[in-house]
Amino acid sequence: MQVDGVVNDWPNRWRHPDVYMDRGGPFAPESFIGGDELKEFIHSEDCKILVVGAGGLGCELLKNLALMGFKSIDVIDMDTIDVSNLNRQFLFRYKDVGKSKAEVAAEFIMKRVPGCVVTPYFGKIQDKDEEYYSQFAIIICGLDSVEARRWMNATVLSMYDEDDPSTLKPIVDGGTEGFKGQSRVIIPKSTACYECSLDMQTKPVTFPICTIANTPRMPEHCIQYASILLWPKEYPTTKIDGDDPDHINWLFNEASKRAEEYGIRGVTRTLTMGVVKNIIPAIASTNAIVAAATANEAFKLATSCAATVNNYMMYVGDEGLYTYTFPLEKKADCPVCGTESVKLAIPATWKLHELMESLLERQGTQMKKPSLACGDRSLYMQGPPPLEAATRPNLEKLVSELVKEGDTVVVTDSGLPISLKLVIHFE
Amino acid sequence: MSMKKKAAADAAAGTSKTKTSAARIRLQKDMGDLGSLPKTMQMSFPDPNDMFNFVLTITPDDGFYKGGVFTFSFKVKEGYPHEAPKVLCTQKIYHPNIDLEGNVCLNILREDWKPVLNINSVMIGLQYIFLEPNPDDPLNKEAAQVLSTNRKLFEQNVNKSMKGGCIGSVTYDCVSA
């Protein structure tokens, strides 16, 4: 039944999720208003969801969201389908190998779930700007790197303007590593953000460089000997590309020689690639568990039908089975959310040193030696001496020569937990 | 790819909004908090607009390496402070914890790096290995062995190497002030 490209829902299509939208449960937030209007909202374009990543988690997320009744979904992924993805990324088939994950996933969901419109973008999250990200009600991440999460988190947090509630975009972030996983909700400025908990992230396994150089005991030591110590000597100008078979073969050969010399077993081509690319084995069912929890949080956020997780759930499946939920705390010195943003109107005739002096007199913060930057350009640095000397001439320049109307100046100072953002307007 | 072209076009048109990355904010704070430096350390920036790449010079005022001038290149990436800065000694020097390619064996640069550490922690760590070279974590095995068996000979070797002399089959860079 297609009317103007919109599929009318058949009777009882959304019977199950509707139960939760007709009336709230005992723990539903006070803001919950059940009924037809809410159901229409969930199905409408006003409740547009962004799924970042169309891999192991992304496939599960798209399936879950579409089957819950979200009908307007965007998906971003920069990757193409590899044959090794097919064991768990179930929206893809053998014929799709080499194609865009986002595009194939979108097409599959639209075919399978009538009425659901999935718009793919085959590219990097960094290609899109705030205007793009502001069209979504909720942003869900199923990413595989700390770098991409940090970028997404910083972008969504920077969009939030406390005077405009429509700029508040919750992030639901899922992640898995083998039998372990996590799901969390980030509400800008009210919960901890991704950057606040950066020190909790597992980092790639690193070995002491002297162990690698002198006392290897594990096959990984031999592989890192080849990649960290031998490669830069042999090819000083070329960076290792983990996807280049020639590079992997060279490293594998060198690591094998090293292993033989020390009587270490277990250096394989697969392990070499795993160590070089820092690959963690992905388990399909862990993805399913984490994606399910993540999609449910998105549904609760969109409908207010029940309380959302507060605010971090970890799932540990490699030592028995254990889940634990706890609130990660906001960090006062978080460079992303610990940064207060202030609109500052200054006379167009002010020089940079006058702006600096006004900062020192500011009530509420006790700044002593503020350093200032705009974008990736230093305006004035208190130290170290060569940067101070290089930026000193700016003090006598007009602020309007250095920054444009509406630009953000980032101030750091030992008296601030981390930084202060000044959105500059000229009077 | 067309995507790259588009990004370049956006940047040229000035449509991309100026934003300061979390890594840069953190680095700006690290740098600002350094203030003036102890007299044994100096920093220089090949491009003063680029805080992510700089050179640290250490001139130890005590220990085996007194009288030497040692330079290290620092490369900080956007992954900072999740990732440690990459540090290399730019000279060929005779030191148990530094190999002939300039790799440095300092725990906080690799296995013990934590985001609460900062540029200053690394600078202090580097200064420390000149005051107290550690023969138990060798990168230059020969040097480490001499240090643990014959401190007098080690001292002589260090002095000779710092003047650009030869130890074994290796000619070292002259690093004397």
Question: Would B15 be classed as within a structural domain?
Answer: no
Interface of A with B in 234-263 (CB under 8 A): none
The percentage of chain A sitting over the pLDDT mark of 90, rounded to a whole number, equals: 72
| pLDDT score recorded for residue A201 | 77
* A262 and A315 housed in the same domain: no
How many domains does chain B divide into? 1
C-beta separation of A54 from A75 below 8 A: yes
How many domains does chain A divide into? 3
- Domain that residue B83 falls in: 20-171
Report the 10 Å Cβ neighbour count for A351: 17
C-beta separation of B172 from B165 below 8 A: yes
* A106 and A121 housed in the same domain: yes
* A187 and A213 housed in the same domain: no
Which residues of B participate in catalysis according to the annotation?
A: 105
B51 touches chain A (CB under 8 A): yes
* Mean pLDDT of the region A230-245: 90
* A229 and A300 housed in the same domain: no
| pLDDT score recorded for residue B3 | 43
| pLDDT score recorded for residue A196 | 92
* A160 and A270 housed in the same domain: no
At CA B73, angle to CA B72 and CA B77, rounded to 5?
Answer: 140
Check which CATH number belongs to the domain holding B81 and give it: 3.10.110.10
pLDDT in tens, A399-417: 999 999 999 999 999 888 8
**Matching residue, tokens 């002297």:** A210
pLDDT in tens, B3-35: 444 444 444 333 345 678 889 999 999 999 887
The distance of B143 to chain A (nearest Cα, Å) reads 13
Question: Would A331 be classed as within a structural domain?
Answer: no
Q: Which contacts of A102-109 are long-range, i.e. CB under 8 A and separated by 24 or more positions?
A: A102/A54, A102/A75, A102/A76, A102/A77, A105/A54, A105/A58, A105/A59, A105/A62, A105/A75, A105/A77, A106/A62, A106/A75, A109/A62, A109/A63, A109/A66, A109/A73
Check which CATH number belongs to the domain holding A356 and give it: 3.10.290.20
Interface of A with B in 118-137 (CB under 8 A): 123-124, 126-127, 129-130
Asked if B25's CB is within 8 angstroms of A335's CB, the reply is yes
B2 touches chain A (CB under 8 A): no
Q: Please return the burial class of A253, using the count of CB atoms within 10 Å of its CB with bins 0-12, 13-18 and 19+.
A: middle
Residue B173 predicted with pLDDT over 80: yes
CA nearest to A126 within chain B: B7
Best of A211, A376, A407, A409 to disrupt the B interface (most B CBs within 10 Å) is A376
| pLDDT score recorded for residue A207 | 87
* A120 and A183 housed in the same domain: yes
| pLDDT score recorded for residue B13 | 38
Question: Would B41 be classed as within a structural domain?
Answer: yes
pLDDT in tens, A33-85: 999 999 999 999 999 999 999 999 999 999 999 999 999 999 999 999 999 89
Question: Would B110 be classed as within a structural domain?
Answer: yes
Determine the Cα–Cα distance for residues A387 and A413; give it in Å rounded to an integer. Answer: 15
CA nearest to B55 within chain A: A386
* A246 and A158 housed in the same domain: no
| pLDDT score recorded for residue A41 | 95
* A119 and A46 housed in the same domain: yes
**Side-chain-facing half-sphere of A127: CA atoms under 13 Å:** 14
* A393 and A262 housed in the same domain: no
Asked if B22's CB is within 8 angstroms of A195's CB, the reply is yes
Q: Please return the burial class of A55, using the count of CB atoms within 10 Å of its CB with bins 0-12, 13-18 and 19+.
A: buried
* A236 and A383 housed in the same domain: no
| Beta strands, E only, chain B | 41-44, 53-58, 70-75, 86-89, 166-167, 170-171
User: Crossing angle of helices A269-277/A245-262, nearest 10°?
Assistant: 110
**Matching residue, tokens 């020639």:** A246
- Domain that residue A397 falls in: 340-426
Residue B2 predicted with pLDDT over 50: no
What residues in A contact B99, CB-CB < 8 Å? 213, 229
Question: Would B9 be classed as within a structural domain?
Answer: no
pLDDT in tens, A343-396: 899 999 999 999 999 998 887 777 889 999 998 899 999 989 999 999 999 999
**Residue A252, phi then psi, degrees to nearest 5:** -60, -45
* Alpha helical stretches, state H, A187-327: 209-214, 219-224, 231-234, 245-262, 269-277, 284-303
A345, β-bridge pairs: A425
Interface of A with B in 76-95 (CB under 8 A): none
Structure tokens belonging to residue A5:
């490209």
* A194 and A218 housed in the same domain: no
* A141 and A258 housed in the same domain: no
